[in-house]
Amino acid sequence: MKKRLFVILLGLLTGCATPFIDRTYKAVGQDSRAQFLILHYTHVDFPTSLKLLTEGEVSSHYLVNNSPPTIYQLVDENRRAYHAGVSYWKGATHLNASSIGIEIVNRGYDETPNGRVWYDYPQAQIDQVIALVKKIVKEHDIKPERILGHSDIAPGRKVDPGPRFPWKQLADAGLIPWPDANLVDAKKALHAQQLPDVAWFQQKLDQHGFAVPRNGQLDKRTQDTLSAFQMKYRQSLFDGVPDAETAALLDALTSTDEIKPK
């Protein structure tokens, strides 16, 4: 008490411009500014990634190199980085203000005469990403359903971290929810008998977290959203076409009483 009074009096006597702040008390009603964790790929090599993320308008809290697999912090977690852009998830928008971004050095894809070719992630790099995600989740208490890809929060506009990113490894590490395989098989058999209409798919995508039209039409935005969902949970085929397996995955993931993070 005497020390605080001394500091206050000293500030008054010296005309100090910085006010004394008493930090004795802490409110119970608070949590971390970081509510979401967003994963990206850079689409370019490490030197170019570093230049873009440190000298341009786009930024990210972390950059994970591929060779050697090294984690670089570029923005303090308490500050906003510009990595998400126009974004949405379960009613939240403009996620730059409430998220931590991780950029992963990966070329993403190349367009070839035979179609788009995607690039794998080295396992050593993924090990670093998982370790970093665990650290961030522990420190900020980020919920499993809020660990997302750029394609989740901006389908159609963004496709990173792409169909080669091993989301299942994050699920196996207990970081994100994943549908039970037996439950998916059972629901797939059910939906194969009678495929739900487009309105059902839109309702389930909305329930899962996406911003999606609710017009009952298989328009481009709905197809882009379906593709983003498939790219994460069924990486062998992500054509944006509603089918029995996609319906089963959606059904399982939105049945909150039937699925929990591992």
> Could you read off the pLDDT tens digit of each residue along the chain, which spans 262 residues?
555 555 555 555 555 578 899 999 999 999 999 999 999 999 999 999 999 999 999 999 999 999 999 999 999 999 999 999 999 999 999 999 999 999 999 999 999 999 999 999 999 999 999 999 999 999 999 999 999 999 999 999 999 999 999 999 999 999 999 999 999 999 999 999 999 999 999 999 999 999 999 999 999 999 999 999 999 999 999 999 999 999 999 999 998 544 444 4
How much is the pLDDT for 1?
55
Q: Is 55 one of the annotated active-site residues of the chain?
A: no
| Beta strands, E only, the chain | 36-41, 62-64, 71-73, 88-89, 92-93, 99-104, 109-112, 115-118, 147-149
Is-contact 84 96, C-beta < 8 A?
yes
How many residues are listed for the chain in this entry? 262
Query: What's the confidence (pLDDT) of residue 258?
Result: 42
CA 54/CA 98 separation, integer angstroms? 20
Q: 43: closest CA among 103, 106, 102, 110? A: 106
* pTM reported for the whole predicted model: 0.90
User: What pLDDT is stored for residue 255 in this prediction?
Assistant: 85
pLDDT of residue 34: 96
Given the residues 55, 103, 111, 139, the one annotated as active site: 103
Is residue 184 within 8 Å of 177, Cβ to Cβ?
A: no
Specify the residue for token string 């609710």. Answer: 214
Half-sphere exposure of 238 (CA within 13 A, CB side): 22
- The rounded Cα 190 to chain-centroid distance in angstroms is 31
Which domains are present in the chain? Answer: 36-172 (3.40.80.10), 181-253 (1.10.101.10)
pLDDT for the residue numbered 18: 82
Task: Assess contact for 5 and 22: CB atoms under 8 A.
Answer: no
